Amino acid sequence: MKWKQVMEEVEVTETEGLEQDAAADPEAVPKPPAGTDEEENALGPLGENDLPRAIEAVLFCVGEPVTIRELADIFKFGVHDVRAAVEKLREEYIDSGRAFRIEDISQGVQLLTLPEYDPWLRSLHQKRRSSRLSPAALETLAVVAYKGPITKAELEAIRGVNCAPTLGTLLDRELIRVAGKAPGLGRPLLYHTTPRFLESFGLGSLKDLPQPEAPPSREAARAREEEIESPEAVAGNPGEEAASGDEPASGSDEPETGSGSES
């Protein structure tokens, strides 16, 4: 069973010899990739003793196989050093009786839980998926469906509340996914719906979503405001009000409760 979590992609730019290249030819200095903050390319040095734990962190978060070459490129270590660190972690997990192992998968290595714990993990995932979504989660999911790909900040601007916990719930249930990064400062994550979302709601594609009602025209909105502000609309008919007491007057917007009304 995979550890399913979201990890932001690490991008590293070669900087060796930049000062010499800049002195010789400023135009020859490679520029950071478009849309990438310089901070992402300024990773600090990693000590040899820290390498196993750094590899552990990557494997724990990425949730898919990572090749030894990729790990070597990320941490700026040789392939043999990375392989030795992976084997050290592998032996450590076995000796300490941990519930997970590092396995060789698809020309890479991946952190996986042991098969004997699979029934409990399946039970947990099934329980989470079968439980009903809260109104807040449904509202967040609707915004992602209609406005996605969308950032967390844009989502919170629409809903007016912190959406981090709700996004975590929707990610756990695989109803939304990280669809990339938005351009600009900080490159925030973009969220979009998943095939599981379409399957869960019986949709062939997002084009099958119900179209939201168009907002009223300016003239209609103004007429409605004038109707609400008029003395007749505010005061009503005194005779009818006295006769009816606390009951809503006939023709009001209150739903009827007699036969034929919806329960």
- Judge whether 191 and 176 are in contact, CB under 8 Å: yes
Predicted confidence (pLDDT) per residue in 201-253, tens digit? 888 888 888 887 766 666 766 776 666 655 554 455 444 444 434 444 444 34
Same domain, 78 and 162: no
Predicted confidence (pLDDT) per residue in 115-166, tens digit? 898 888 888 777 766 567 889 999 999 999 999 899 999 999 999 999 999 9
Cβ neighbors of 38 (< 8 A, separation 6 or more) are 32
Domain's final residue, options 56, 82, 114: 114
Domain's final residue, options 189, 208, 227: 208
**Number of independent structural domains in the chain:** 2
Look up the domain containing 199 and give its range.
Answer: 132-208
Same domain, 27 and 79: yes
The CATH number assigned to the domain holding 136 equals 1.10.10.10
Same domain, 40 and 77: yes
d(CA 69, CA 139): 42
Does 148 map to a domain?
yes
Does 7 map to a domain?
no
Same domain, 110 and 157: no
- Judge whether 139 and 154 are in contact, CB under 8 Å: no
Burial class (CB in 10 A: 0-12, 13-18, 19+), 166: buried
pTM of the model: 0.39
